[in-house]
Amino acid sequence: MSMNNKKVHHPSGMVTVIVFTLCIFTLFSSCSARIDGVVREGGAAELKLQTALEPRTSALMRSFRGFMGDAADAPVLDGRAISLSMAAAPGVRSVSLVNTGPEAMDGGISITNVGDFLASGGGSRFITFTEGRDASSIVVVLDRNSAPDFIARLSPEVEEYLMALMAPAIIGDPDSRLEYIALISAVYGRPLANEISEAKIRASIEFPRPIKTILGGTSTGRQAEFEVPLLDVLVLEQPLRYEVRW
């Protein structure tokens, strides 16, 4: 049964690999982000990212980087550093992220095969890519058991920021989104907690053929649209499981 043009909710929450891939660049802080991408036959993907930190998050991260010994004029989002660490990750062909300001960066990511993206040396995968003549699919599953290893393989910079924000996806506690926001409010203040609560990542992804079913977003023809709350990714109160079939 086709689910085109209809939003579908699932108890565990579902998302596509491409949305989650780019969420990683933005999940260490509240920000505005726009993602445009193409998934090709064979599993290769090309992604474009525009992202900028919100003011209070930027101030917090600048203080954190100063405490770690970085120069006062160092970018809060370091596109070059993230590009270098990301380029060495499994399944990645190339990364080019450049700073358009101290708190903003644009660029592109080329992925050789989405099924190989960030696979561990032991073959552990959080993405399942299946391709056939008449039907293909991408399924992504992420929970608190797999998230720390996934983040560590992606970028030390991202892992450090997540630790600074006490993200339950990394440290394990607290258990719920409400508890996490209460913790952020107590430690960093309500304005920062509000930025995190309101932050969303929006993505538009084109697939090789018309989409047959989508869980976690909407679709028209070959185009999928997603809006991912940052808080869901930071906390992982419930495992995230997203799918696209085409």
- Do the Cβ atoms of 32 and 100 come closer than 8 Å? no
Task: Check residue 14 and give its pLDDT.
Answer: 30
- What's the rounded Cα separation, in Å, for the pair 183 and 190? 10
Best mean pLDDT range from 42-56, 102-116, 143-157, 171-185: 171-185
Mean model confidence pLDDT for the chain: 77
Residue 181 pLDDT exceeds 70:
yes
CA dist list (Å): 54 to 12, 26, 226: 28, 11, 21
CA dist list (Å): 178 to 71, 169, 234: 35, 14, 12
- What's the rounded Cα separation, in Å, for the pair 215 and 237? 19
Best mean pLDDT range from 26-35, 44-53, 202-211: 202-211
- Do the Cβ atoms of 222 and 208 come closer than 8 Å? yes
Tens digits of residue pLDDT in 81-136: 878 877 887 788 998 988 888 778 888 989 898 878 766 655 556 778 889 888 99
**Pair of tokens at residue 50:** 């525009």
